[in-house]
């Protein structure tokens, strides 16, 4: 289970870091999969890019957490496979902490990014800027 968790978390973290990098540089175009996707950001390009830029740092922090949690899970899996004396409860406790911790961390920062992004979108998308 530790190995599976690590194998899921590491690519998830790398994807989040890539999204953060692309968001910061206006490289992430409106799409149906990733980014801050609200009614406003999907309707308005100005709001979309402002939202992605505002969300980028939170997405990066979440991605680093997923990546470190994933690497930690893989390391623990290797350690436990080399040390059969490790007790089952201890293994389950480390797995649960790593999985829940890293998943919760990246989810919390993703939601933080969505919050920051949608506020930035509302701020930039006004009648004065010629937006609907």
Q: Which is nearer to Zn ion, 85 or 130 (CB)?
A: 130
User: Residues near 74 by Cβ (< 8 Å), separated by ≥ 6?
Assistant: 2, 3, 6, 7, 10
CB nearer Zn ion, residue 54 or residue 125: 125
Say if CB 124 and CB 47 are below 8 A apart: yes
Task: Report the nearest approach of Zn ion to the CB of residue 123 (Å).
Answer: 11
Report the residue closest to Zn ion, judged by CB. 131
Q: Which residues bind Zn ion (CB under 5 A)?
A: 44, 46-47, 125, 131
Contact of 65 with 8, CB cutoff 8 Å: no
Nearest distance, CB of residue 131 and Zn ion, angstroms: 3
Looking at the Cβ atoms of 9 and 125, the one nearer to Zn ion is 125
Query: Residue 47 and residue 80: Cα distance in Å, rounded?
Result: 48
Nearest approach in angstroms of CB 49 to Zn ion is 10
SS3 at position 78: helix
Q: Which residues contact 45 (CB under 8 A, 6 or more apart)?
A: 30
Please state whether 130 falls in left (phi above 0), alpha (psi between -120 and 50) or beta: left
Please report how close the Cβ of residue 117 comes to Zn ion at its closest, in angstroms: 14
Considering the complex, state which of residue 12 and residue 51 has its C-beta at the smaller distance from Zn ion.
Answer: 51
């Amino acid at each position: 289970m530790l190995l599976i968790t690590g194998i899921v978390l590491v690519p998830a973290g790398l994807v989040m870091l890539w999204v953060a990098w692309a968001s910061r540089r206006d490289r992430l175009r409106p799409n149906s999969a990733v980014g801050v996707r609200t009614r406003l950001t999907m309707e308005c390009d100005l709001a979309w890019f402002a939202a992605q830029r505002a969300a980028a740092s939170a997405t990066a922090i979440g991605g680093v957490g997923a990546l470190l949690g994933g690497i930690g899970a893989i390391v623990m899996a290797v350690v436990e496979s080399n040390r059969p004396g490790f007790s089952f409860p201890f293994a389950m406790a480390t797995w649960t902490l790593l999985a829940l911790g890293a998943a919760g961390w990246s989810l919390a920062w993703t939601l933080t990014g969505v919050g920051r992004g949608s506020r930035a979108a509302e701020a930039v998308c006004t009648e004065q800027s010629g937006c609907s």
